[in-house]
Structure 1
């Protein structure tokens, strides 16, 4: 293997361009450090592209839809109320793109060198970057911040194909609201999706192995959220373990 070209020396090298990584890089630059950032996908990470930001856009739409449906009680009469999910997705994409461009601007503003590619630690001061264009280079730094984030975890007997069996990214790419949806796991992400898709008209079943939804939160919080989801028509199955998933052309069992 040929020795990669040197990519330069830096005071701080950040591996990972999500909320922890790009904010850490900005702070380093503000403190006068010559800073580099390595990211193999898009700046902003999971939160910006397939997590917090797009789901909050959908939740805002769901909240507005629920409010408009209750308008008659407040003396507001509306007819022909309907959800255009294609427009919902287009707005979601616009919000994500706007924020992504904002992060790119902040990198330029603070003079941060961004290296698209996979970063691998070679020691306490060196990072090898396998760039997206096929080249390789080595960065030298006095300090290295590892902020590589996380990835979805599947379950035994569950194969994610992002056609019938979806992870969070696949769910956000659905072209239309499904007639029915079973959600495995009732943590923060699962309850968010249950809430918004129920508001959009899907028949939602929320399945949780623990005795209550949101098992890491206070019991009072869990109870309030469970009551609200039930009011929206979400079927909640707690204390239920999933042993397998079988997908077919007609659906999933």
Structure 2
């Protein structure tokens, strides 16, 4: 007979959920992980991983097209969308098998099914064969994720979500992407790189409003130079169908004819399953939690997109770790651990050039009352960038002039996302400029760009003539 009593049941097998389950085992608990579809959630199966696999394919195609500048002559090369799709599918399958093995290794029991709360300590699980089992648990961690929003449109119009666009059988000729957040920008870049004529619409004054304004504006310029038509401060009023195509009506009176439209206009939390528990929901439907991910029901915790709406996988994983620790503490002592430090979560966009935000933007720092000092370092002065021919973009560091504490690191450039770890260490650990600059960085490497920006903050730039506004020590 299947086990019916568990220390904690985790509902949702995406990054936030499976992290919580693994950490629960490591805290000495017996977790059950329930997933209604495929392990890995949206990120692995329909989001982060397949999109980044396709973006990588597009980058390879771009490298082949421009290989002659490096003395490599490629004749007769052509792109194969189905082949790229196959690569993305293999990537997803490989990581999904790895996740299944990982969970077995850690001793996490996984059931496939739909979970519905009967009470705070009892769940009804509907399994794939239709049978229903009831399990009891001391606590639950809800990681039910989110679903993509969709704008109203004519039912015959070819309008797709950001997830559906990754699985097209063929590429369109003309494409309209609605939404200038990370998903919209990445998809616009992907399809433009593969030869699709792309128009990117954003209702706000700039793309990527959560990014530092300088980074966002520079990236918009880069996208336009690559051939993407970027239009901001434009709202979509309606989407009609015409001869199997879409006609997008914009607030400025223009109309856009397209073979396909992608709605990348945010996501809504899958919080409906928690309503029977009576937990407090925010106005946007996200679940209200405290710093330890605890809901208004003391033994119910929530992590990931169901809390943040359209959050990040890595942010959800960090929340999953916190929730597992909090559940273990709560079950053993009936209290939560001391308040944790706020999470500093990176925000990255995987187009070309890539963009990274870590910590406060310049505008946020000024609003926060800091006496702000900033510096920038252009990649064209970095040896590692020059040898690869990828010199577009810059590093920008925001610091507090009074304490020299690093408040934010912002990067635009090739492979910028892989610098998020160093940037995170500088910001999350409250590093000062003077201490951070003492780290010896490999030459040549992109990490040197952060060091150069730090030197500039001290007023003693090395490979740049630009200084910050603070005085030389």
Q: Which TM-score tier does this pair reach, normalised by the shorter chain? A: over 0.9
The answer (yes or no) to whether the contact 2:154–2:241 under 8 Å persists in 1 is no
Q: Deviations over 1:134-159 (max 9, x none)?
A: 1111121112101111001122x336
Match among 82, 91, 102 for residue 95 of structure 1: 91
- What secondary structure is seen at the aligned counterpart in 2 of 1:41? coil
- TM-score, with structure 1 as normaliser: 0.92
Match among 231, 234, 242 for residue 228 of structure 2: 234
Match among 156, 174, 181 for residue 175 of structure 2: 181
Q: Deviations over 1:87-137 (max 9, x none)?
A: 100110000011111111122222222121111122222221122211111
Counting only pairs closer than 5 Å after superposition, residues 1-253 of structure 1 correspond to structure 2 as 8-155=4-151, 157-158=152-153, 164-253=158-247
Aligned pair in 2 of structure 1 residues 211, 160: CA closer, same or farther (>3 Å)? Answer: farther
The answer (yes or no) to whether the contact 2:162–2:184 under 8 Å persists in 1 is no
Which region of structure 1 is more displaced relative to structure 2, 206-215 or 99-108?
Answer: 99-108
Aligned pair in 2 of structure 1 residues 224, 134: CA closer, same or farther (>3 Å)? Answer: same
Aligned pair in 2 of structure 1 residues 6, 104: CA closer, same or farther (>3 Å)? Answer: closer
The answer (yes or no) to whether the contact 1:183–1:190 under 8 Å persists in 2 is yes
The answer (yes or no) to whether the contact 2:36–2:112 under 8 Å persists in 1 is yes
- What secondary structure is seen at the aligned counterpart in 1 of 2:240? coil
RCO (CA 8 Å, sep 6+): is it higher in 1 or 2? 1
Q: Which runs of 5+ in 1 are unaligned?
A: none
The answer (yes or no) to whether the contact 1:7–1:138 under 8 Å persists in 2 is no
- What secondary structure is seen at the aligned counterpart in 2 of 1:140? strand
CA distance in 1, matches of 2:127, 2:155: 28
CA distance in 2, matches of 1:250, 1:101: 39
CA distance in 2, matches of 1:249, 1:126: 52
User: Where has structure 1 moved over 4 Å in runs of 4 or more?
Assistant: none
CA distance in 1, matches of 2:127, 2:154: 30
- What secondary structure is seen at the aligned counterpart in 2 of 1:42? coil
The alpha-carbon deviation at position 18 of structure 1 amounts to 0.5
- What secondary structure is seen at the aligned counterpart in 2 of 1:209? coil
The alpha-carbon deviation at position 229 of structure 1 amounts to 1.0
The answer (yes or no) to whether the contact 2:115–2:126 under 8 Å persists in 1 is yes
CA distance in 2, matches of 1:160, 1:37: 37
The alpha-carbon deviation at position 249 of structure 1 amounts to 4.0
Q: Which runs of 5+ in 2 are unaligned?
A: 248-473
Which region of structure 1 is more displaced relative to structure 2, 211-220 or 193-202?
Answer: 211-220
Which region of structure 1 is more displaced relative to structure 2, 83-92 or 31-40?
Answer: 31-40
Aligned pair in 2 of structure 1 residues 159, 140: CA closer, same or farther (>3 Å)? Answer: farther
CA distance in 1, matches of 2:226, 2:75: 21
CA distance in 1, matches of 2:22, 2:2: 23
- TM-score, with structure 2 as normaliser: 0.50
Please identify the structure whose Cα radius of gyration is greater: 2
